[in-house]
Amino acid sequence: MAERFFEEMVNKGIVPNVVTYNVMLNGICRRASLHPEERFERTIRDAEKMFGEMRERGVEPDVTSYSVLLHVYSRSHKPELTLSKLKEMMDKGIYPTVATYTSVVKCLCSCGRLEDAEALLNAMVGNGVSPSAATYNCFFKEYRGRKDVDNALKLYRKMKEESPFLPSMHTYNILVGMFVKLNRMEIVKEIWDDMKAISAGPDLDSYTLLIHGLCDKHKWREACQFFVEMIENGILPQKVTFETLYRGLIQSDMLRTWRRLKKKLEEESRTFSSEFEHYHLKPYTR
């Protein structure tokens, strides 16, 4: 329908500008899955055709045009094509934005090309573009997959030096999930304290990741401590968290601890109103 409307516009003699073309490019590039490979090729063919049409009409693609295309290459895990298109863009004197750089960094990191991603990060800073939390998160996700504690911690501390407010809640949650899984509780404490110091959180995801990680390590007392803190902060635990802790405490013969937790939750139930009514648990049999 958008294509028909676009054609009608041109037929009426209304000349599309770069904004019009970018809307169309966005529709072409983000409308569908890029797998299998034929879909990716068809999407790129349609987008390149739109680029050609723009130039024929004397409309030069801008940073948004290239960013949309780079996003497709990134989603399809095509590092060489992504770098080539970035170079083409810069050769034409079009300077990438933080979102453009982040798309390329994401592609390089997800393809395991961390050295190239780090080089691009340095080039980005050298060109006067400050990385965002989303840019750094690309690295953290790859470090998490590699269980690379040293580089994740080094980058996190570098990020804090730039600004204590730079990490996003998503950054904190990636790192909390990673380090609790690796049983590096001293680092989890550092991140948790940082998050609280700037009043960024913790949020529901932070508590859920931490409590479930502690349950996996059979650290029931610590899990209970954060469960209580979560309730006191007015955050209702997910039912799965409730059940995981319940089963673990029963299996570990900590029924009295469970009763105290349940009483605490019931005391605070007014905060959660009708949400808590759905949390009835069936008696657990070992």
Which pLDDT does position 258 carry in this prediction?
84
Residue 281 pLDDT greater than 70, yes or no: no
Which pLDDT does position 75 carry in this prediction?
86
Residues 222-269: tens digit of each pLDDT: 999 999 999 888 898 888 998 899 899 988 989 888 888 888 777 776
Least confident of 33-42, 52-61, 271-280: 271-280
DSSP conformation letters of 105-167: HHHHHHTT-HHHHHHHHHHHHHTT----HHHHHHHHHHHHHHT-HHHHHHHHHHHHHH-TT-S
Predicted structure pTM score: 0.86
Which pLDDT does position 37 carry in this prediction?
72
Which pLDDT does position 96 carry in this prediction?
96
Which pLDDT does position 44 carry in this prediction?
85
Give the confidence band of 282 by pLDDT, cuts at 50, 70, 90.
low
- Spatial separation of the C-alpha atoms in residues 157 and 240, rounded to whole Å: 33
Residues 68-110: tens digit of each pLDDT: 999 988 988 899 999 999 999 999 999 999 999 999 999 999 9
Q: Where are the alpha helices (DSSP H) in the chain?
A: 2-11, 18-30, 37-56, 63-75, 79-91, 98-110, 114-126, 133-146, 149-162, 169-181, 185-197, 204-216, 220-232, 239-251, 255-267, 269-272
Which pLDDT does position 3 carry in this prediction?
87
Average pLDDT of the chain to the nearest whole number: 89
What backbone torsions phi and psi does residue 153 show, to the nearest 5 degrees? Answer: -70, -40
Which pLDDT does position 200 carry in this prediction?
78
Tell me if 101 sits within 8 A of 130, measured CB to CB: no
For residue 231, give every residue at least 6 positions away whose Cβ sits within 8 Å of its Cβ, in sequence order, or none: 237, 264, 265, 268
- Spatial separation of the C-alpha atoms in residues 74 and 14, rounded to whole Å: 33
Give the confidence band of 280 by pLDDT, cuts at 50, 70, 90.
low
Which pLDDT does position 278 carry in this prediction?
59
Q: For tokens 């490019």, what's the residue? A: 25
One-letter amino acid at 212 equals: H
CA torsion, ordered 232, 234, 239, 240, to nearest 10 deg:
-70
